[in-house]
Structure 1
Amino acid sequence: MKTTAFVAMALGSLLTVTASLPAHAAWPEKSIEVVVPYTPGGATDTVTRVIMKKLSERLGQPVVVANKPGANATIGTAAVARAKPDGYTFVTVLAAHTINPHLYKLSYSFDDFEPVSHMADLPLFLFINKDIPANTLAELIAYGKKHPDTLTYASSGAGSSAHMTGANFGLQAGLTMTHIPYKGSAPILTDLLSGQVSMVFDPILVPMQYVKQGRLKAVAITSTKRWDDEPDVPTMDEAGLPGFFMNSWASLLAPAGTPKDIIDRVSKEIAEIAKDPDVQKTFHDAGFVAVGSTPDELDQLIKKDTAMYGDIVKKANIKLN
C-alpha cells in the first residue's frame, strides 16, 4: 500500500509539473500574423514579406502579413498593442514609430511592446532638382544661405522620416526651408523633376535612374558609409555636416508580455535570415541593408531615435495641423 501511495504521489507531482509548463512550449502550433501598418507594395511591406517568407520556412508554420494602414501607421500599430501576447501577433514599424509620440496623441505607448529585431536599414539620398546651381552639399548650403526661404523639401507625409531628415538638415546647415508634404512618392518625383520642389531625402530605388539621365542630382547619403553602387556620392558627414546620420529603418515588435523565449527565438531566426545572400541581394536591389539584431540592440535604437526626433521636433517647432 505504501508503495502504491508513493507511486500515486509521484504521478500526481509529475502531472502538476507538466500542467505548469508554459502553454507556448510547442510554439508555433499555428499561423503567425505580422501586421504592416502601411499599404501593400511599399518598402515596409516588401521588407516584411521577404523576411517573413523565410521565417515561415524556418518555423514550419505560415506567417501571414496583414496590411492595416492609416494615421501615419498608428492604426495598425495600436491594434497590435491590444493583441494577445501569445507569440502569434507581431508588427513591423519604421523610424516613424519613434517620431509619432512627439506629434500625435497615441492610444498606446512604447511600454505596450517588446522589441524583437531591427530587420533592415533604409539609407536616404539627398536628391535635388537639376536646375539648382549646386553639385555638392556645400554648394547647396551656400546657395540656400544666399537665397533664404527659396529652397523647399518634399516628404511622403508630415511626421515621416523624410520630413524629419529634411528638418534636421535645415537646422544643421543653418537654412530656412519650406516643407512640402505629399501623399506618396510618385507625385514627389514628378514635382522634383519639374522644379516645383527643390529637394527630397528619398531611398535610392526610383530617383537614382533620373540622376543617371542627368535629370536630377544626388549630392549626399544619410548613412555612415557610402552606397557600394554609388561610390561617388559622399555621406552627409563627409560632405560637410559632421555627425549627420539619419537612416530610416524597419523593425519587428511584439505585444508587451510576449514570452521571452519566443521573442529570443524570432530574433535569432531573423538574424540568420539577414545573413542569407538572397535576402541581402533582394534588400540591396530595393535600397535596403539587411541587419538582424538582438531585442536589446533594437531597444537601444528606439531610445536613441526617440530622443533624436524629439529634439528635432522641438528645435524646428514642428506641429501637425
Structure 2
Amino acid sequence: MERRQMLAALTALASSAWLGAARAQGASNVPLHVIVPFPPGGGTDVLGRAIGARLEKVLGRPVVVENKPGASGIVGAEYVANADRQGNTMLFSGLVPSVRYYSRPLSQLGSELAPVCMIARSPYLVAVNPGVPAANLRELVELAKRKPGSLSFGSPGNATPQHLATERFRSEAGIELLHVPYRGTGPMMTDLMGGQIQLVFATVAAAEQYVKSGRLRALAVTSAERLERLPDVPTAAEAGMPGFEAEIAFGTYVAAGTPAAAVGLLNRAVNQALTDADVRGKLVEQGFIPVGGTPEQLGKSLLAEVRAVSELVRSGKVRIDAP
C-alpha cells in the first residue's frame, strides 16, 4: 500500500474509532440543548441548526436547538451559565458570548462560560433600504454629513458585533448615525426593508437573499476581497473607506466548571461536524467561513476581542443592556 493510501486509511480508522468512543460516551436519552441567544432567522440561528443536526449523528444523542433571545444575547448566555455542568447545554453565540464581558475585568472572562470551539466567521454586507439616495458607500457618507443624525442604523442589540462594527464605521467616517437596537436580526431586517431604518451591517446569511431580490441594496462588503457570490458588490476600501475591514466570528460555550472531558468531547464533536461536506456546504452557501479549533484558541480570540472593544463601552459610547 502506498504511503498516501496508508495515511488515509489510518485517518479514517482513527476517525471511526473516535466516533465510536464519542457515541459510547455521549449516547443517552438526555438531549444536548443548543442555545441560540437570538430569534430565528439570524446568522447564529443558521449555524446552530446546521451544526446541531450533524452533532446529533456524531454524538448519537438527541440535539434540541432552542432560541432564547433577549438583552443583546445576555438572556441566552446566562441561561447556559446557570445550566448543568455535564456538557448537556451548549451556547452558540458570537465570539463574545455576553456583551457584559465588555464591562467586566478581564480576569472574570472565564467565570461564567467556558469556551468549546470556534465555529465560523463572516464579513458584513453594508446594506441600505432602496429608498436611501446613495448608490455607494461614499455617497452614503456624504449624505450623512449633509444631514447629521438623519440616518438610522439597526443592530440585533446594544454592543452586539453588528452594532460595534457600525460604530467603528461611523467613527472612522466622521458621521453621525442614530442607533436603533432590536431583539435580533430578523426584526431588524424587516424594519430595514420597511424603511423604518436606513442602514445595517448584516451577515451575508442575513442580507444576501434580500440584496439579490432587490429589496435591499448592498453598498459594500467588509472583507479584504469581493465575494464570489456577490461579485458586483465592492469592498469597503473600493467603495471609499480605505483600510476598513470587519467581520463577525461565532463560537460555542458551556457553563464554567464543566469537566474538561465533557468540554473535550464537545470540541471534537463540533470539529468533526465542521468537516462534514454537507455542513460545510450549508455554511458556505450562507456566506460563512467554517473555522474550528481548540478551546484555548477560542479563549485567546475572545480575550483579544474584548480588549479591542471594551474601551467603547467604558467611555459610554456603547451601552450594555440589562436582561
Q: TM-score range by the shorter chain?
A: 0.7 to 0.9
- Cα deviation for residue 230 of structure 1 reads 0.7
What letter corresponds to residue 94 of structure 1 in structure 2? G
Counterpart in the other structure of 1:267: 267
SS class of match (1:251): strand
SS class of match (2:231): coil
Asked whether the equivalents of residues 116 and 298 of structure 1 are also in contact (C-alpha less than 8 Å), the reply is yes
SS class of match (1:27): helix
Counterpart in the other structure of 2:111: 111
What does 1:139-150 align with in structure 2 at a 5 Å threshold? 139-150=139-150
Counterpart in the other structure of 2:25: 27
Q: Distance in 1 between matches of 2:300 and 2:103?
A: 21
Counterpart in the other structure of 1:289: 289
- Cα deviation for residue 224 of structure 1 reads 4.0
Closer, same or farther: CA 230–315 of 1 in aligned 2, 3 Å: farther
What letter corresponds to residue 28 of structure 1 in structure 2? G
Closer, same or farther: CA 87–318 of 1 in aligned 2, 3 Å: closer
Counterpart in the other structure of 1:18: none
Counterpart in the other structure of 1:217: 217
SS class of match (1:46): helix
Q: Describe the superposition over 1:116-161 as per-residue Cα deviations: whole angstroms up to 9, x where unpaired.
A: 1111223321012334443332332233233333222122333332
Counterpart in the other structure of 2:280: 280
Q: Distance in 1 between matches of 2:310 and 2:227?
A: 28
Say whether residues 1:50 and 2:50 are aligned partners.
Answer: yes
SS class of match (2:117): strand
- Cα deviation for residue 298 of structure 1 reads 0.9
Larger Rg: 1
SS class of match (2:197): coil
Q: Which runs of 5+ in 1 are unaligned?
A: 1-23
Asked whether the equivalents of residues 162 and 201 of structure 2 are also in contact (C-alpha less than 8 Å), the reply is yes
SS class of match (2:176): coil
Counterpart in the other structure of 1:74: 74
How many residue pairs end up in the alignment?
A: 296
- Cα deviation for residue 45 of structure 1 reads 2.8
Asked whether the equivalents of residues 152 and 177 of structure 1 are also in contact (C-alpha less than 8 Å), the reply is yes
Q: TM-score, normalised by structure 1?
A: 0.78
Closer, same or farther: CA 309–132 of 1 in aligned 2, 3 Å: same
What does 1:181-260 align with in structure 2 at a 5 Å threshold? 181-185=181-185, 188-193=188-193, 195-205=195-205, 207-260=207-260
Counterpart in the other structure of 1:10: none
SS class of match (1:72): helix
Q: Distance in 2 between matches of 1:98 and 1:203?
A: 19
Q: Distance in 1 between matches of 2:217 and 2:53?
A: 36
- Cα deviation for residue 292 of structure 1 reads 1.5
Q: Distance in 1 between matches of 2:92 and 2:269?
A: 16
Asked whether the equivalents of residues 126 and 200 of structure 2 are also in contact (C-alpha less than 8 Å), the reply is yes
Q: Distance in 2 between matches of 1:138 and 1:38?
A: 32
